Amino acid sequence: MKKLSTGWIVLIVVAAIVIIGIMWGIRTNNKMITAEEGVSGAWAQVENVYQRRMDLIPNLVNTVKGAADFEKGTLEAVIDARSKATSVQLNSENLTEADIAAFQKAQDGLSSALSRLMVTVERYPELKATQNFRDLQAQLEGTENRIAVERNKFNEVVKAYNTMIRKFPNSIIAGMGGFEKKGYFQAASGAEKSPEVNFEF
């Protein structure tokens, strides 16, 4: 049996290293694609629960509109906030910090308008007593809870994805493959402060 020359051994070792490197790159790229698809799926769930809230608002507005002397400005604020919230569109391709902040700002404006509506409704006991309003209120509260849950899940998936693409040597494949960092949902402004409670009458 002939002995392999040193040149052939070096060539085989180099070829093996290149093949292992290519296989690692393909595997890492596939993992990043899977992680990015996870972010897209989590974003779709976030959009789904926000859409559910959007769909409930016209019924809520129509129910409240039927109450005698209900404040027109409050209803107009909800309708206007809903319009602004629907005008900010995102997809999984443009989930940057700035894009998510703009989306969140529009959604926070709608949440604020809905909160003012619910406070105003407190002055209309006959409206609060109707079954239709109570059902819509319960659905809206459930939707708000789902929004919080889905946003939290989204942030967890984004954190895993961002960590994966930023770690070395994954960052090399991420740079070559065009994998970009995704944005997070942030806490609303002022959420870090405890609310003041005053029981003085």
Q: Give the whole-angstrom CA distance, residue 37 versus residue 113.
A: 34
pLDDT tens figures, 55-96: 988 888 888 877 656 677 888 888 889 888 888 888 777 788
Q: What domains sit in the chain, N to C, each tagged with a CATH number?
A: 40-177 (1.20.120)
Q: How far is CA 35 from CA 92, 152, 155, 172, in A?
A: 12, 16, 13, 16
pLDDT tens figures, 168-181: 999 998 999 899 99
Residue 38 contacts residue 161 (beta carbons within 8 Å): yes
Of residues 56 and 193, more confidence is placed in 56
